[in-house]
Structure 1
Amino acid sequence: MQSEDNILAKESSESIQERMRQVFDALGISIYQVAKDLGENSSKFYNILNGRAKPSYDTILRLLEQYPQVRADYLLRGHHPILSELEVNAKVIDLPVRYRELPFVPTRFYASFIETYTEGLSMAQLESYRVPEHLIGNHKNVVVIEISGNSMSPQLSNGAKVLAVHIDPSDWQYQSGGIYAVIYRDYFVVKRIKDNELLTKQRLALHSDNPNGGSVTVPLKDIQGIWKIARVVDSPVE
């Protein structure tokens, strides 16, 4: 078996990072989805595509196993095409994609959303965002939120659109480990809940994934609403 160095040495003028980007584009999938499919941290793939790291041979093999339509000859050596041709007798079935219009909170509406939320905001007053039904699944009481800033990068980049599920106040004390949108006082933030002390000390600790994003501890009395981020529905290419 050839060593990893020998195989990667047979690259074309395109870097392995650029070929991986081309593969993801051809598959029509985001970095977040690739990381989820492979059980990896998305920051690993952001670092690879941004040229800060090279993929290991194990990562390349796992990619080829997960997405068998990707041609190893392209990924390893840059020989086109990127994806395998359809078999002669294969039949393409074009399944219709069904969409739903969901309430949308863009960054420019944050302030208005905060002001009107406690006054019984009607979801009909919000803009809407079209989302494929398979991404919504069985979630109820959902909105789409546009991410502002990079405090949650690389998991959530600036401008990403995320599906957020409203959490009933009676369940606030049980939320931990995930990423949440929280309205408190005059703030609307998206942070990770690591230390939920609502039951014992009536406070909630919110943390940024980006070390430069900081953390904040919020008293229970200041919290107006909480939504759990279920998934990314659209994310800009970095």
Structure 2
Amino acid sequence: MVGKANDSDKELMVPVQERLRQVIDALGVSVYQVAKDLGENSSKFYNILNGRAKPSYDTILRLLEQYPQVRADYLLRGQLPVLSEEEDNARVIEMPVRYRELPFVPTRFYASFIETYTEGLSLEQLETYRVAEHLVEGHKNAVIIEISGNSMSPQLISGAKVLAVHIDPTNWEYQSGGIYAVIYRDYFVVKRIKDNELLTKQRLTLHSDNPNGGSVTVPRKDILGIWKVVRVIDSPVE
């Protein structure tokens, strides 16, 4: 005889993407805001909510740290309630957040950044931008770059600040699929690398995500520096 499923069993049947959706609804925030607070790409969360991907353990931990009112028992095991209930004798414990000052390349500094880079740039010459330590995640030689224009929208819009890591010239040939900041001749652009032909044809093709942004092919001899964009730190709302 098959027994009737109890409420606890029903809770455990809720898939993780649905639990995440209910957590976001309970918090009363948008998917974009959650992604921004966690330093993640919003498209990653939409893929999770649509069942095309599953959240990593690291993402779940950061969500629980960012929103302490979310119950880990619900997010991990589906045990209600979704959020912690306030108690009269409860007290709020604020966890200290560590910050780091990283070199910052604002839009208005693009031209002088190119010029000083060709002359042997010292990162101490740059402005700084304050970033939570956990968003840096041990990346070395990282800088914060402000996005200019909408050639990389919708993922990166004008005014967004991104964390980018310097790529050693010996590794330029192996970069593909991601978004990169590239200095070539007297240009400083943020584009996606799809066609890396540095090994075969000594050239690199940089693409815009926005169909109206076009693409550009750059000879290796014109490339002065490459940084890989690894995280959105801050982004205005369109």
Aligned counterparts of 1:181 and 1:211: Cα–Cα separation in 2 = 19
Deviations 1:161-212 (A, max 9, x none): 0000000000000000000000000100000000000000000000000000
The separation in 1 between residues aligned to 2:31 and 2:42, in whole angstroms, is: 11
What is the correspondence of 1:154-233 to structure 2 with a 5 Å cutoff?
154-233=154-233
The correspondence for 2:29, drawn from 20, 23, 28, is 23
Q: TM-score, normalised by structure 1?
A: 0.70
Number of aligned residue pairs: give it: 188
Partner of 1:14: none
Partner Cα separation in structure 1 for residue 92 and residue 131 of structure 2: 24
Residue number in structure 1 paired with 2:108:
108
Cα distance in 2 between the residues matched to 1:38 and 1:210? 19
**Other-structure match for 1:86:** 85
Identity value in percent? 71
Verify: 1:37 aligned to 2:48, yes or no: no
Partner SS for 1:230: strand
Q: Using the alignment, how far apart are the partners of 2:207 and 2:171 within structure 1?
A: 20
Instruction: Tell me how far 1:86 sits from its aligned partner.
Output: 3.0
* Runs of 5+ consecutive residues of structure 2 not aligned to the other structure: 1-24, 55-59, 71-81
User: What amino acid does structure 2 have at the position aligned with 1:157?
Assistant: I
Normalized against structure 2, the TM-score is what? 0.70
Partner of 1:236: 236
SS at match of 1:86: coil
RMSD of Structure 2 on Structure 1 (CA): 3.1
* Counterpart amino acid of residue 146 in structure 1: E
Q: Distance in 1 between matches of 2:136 and 2:34?
A: 18
Residue 9 of structure 1 aligns with which residue? none
Q: 1:157 to 1:222 in 2, by over 3 A?
A: same
Amino acid at match of 1:168: D
Counterpart code for 1:23: V
Mark the CA change 1:33 to 1:174 in structure 2 (over 3 Å): closer, same or farther.
Answer: closer
* Structure 2 counterpart of 1:102, one-letter code: L
Taking the TM superposition and a 5 Å limit, the aligned residue runs for 1:75-154 are 84=83, 86-88=85-87, 92-154=92-154
Residues 85 and 124 (structure 1 numbering): CA distance in 2 closer, same or farther, change over 3 Å? same
Q: Distance in 1 between matches of 2:160 and 2:32?
A: 20
1:25 Cα deviation after fit: 8.4
Q: Match of 2:139, SS?
A: coil
Which amino acid is the alignment partner of residue 134 of structure 1?
Answer: H
Q: Is the CA contact 2:36–2:233 (under 8 Å) kept in the aligned structure 1?
A: no
Distance 1:27-1:142 versus aligned 2 partners, 3 A rule: closer
**Take 2:223 and 2:181, find their aligned partners in 1: how far apart are those partners?**
11
- Asked if the contact 1:192–1:207 (Cα under 8 Å) also holds between the matched residues in 2, the reply is yes
8 A Cα contact 1:114 1:186, kept in partner: yes
The offset of 1:135, in angstroms, is: 0.3
Give CA-to-partner distance per residue, 1:127-173, whole Å, 9 cap, x none.
00000010000100010000000000011010000000000000000
CA contact (8 A) 2:41 2:231 kept: no
Structure 1 residues 8-63: Cα deviation after superposition (integer angstroms, max 9, x where no partner) = xxxxxxxxxxx8995228965439544323436xxxxxxxxxxxxxxx9x68xx9x
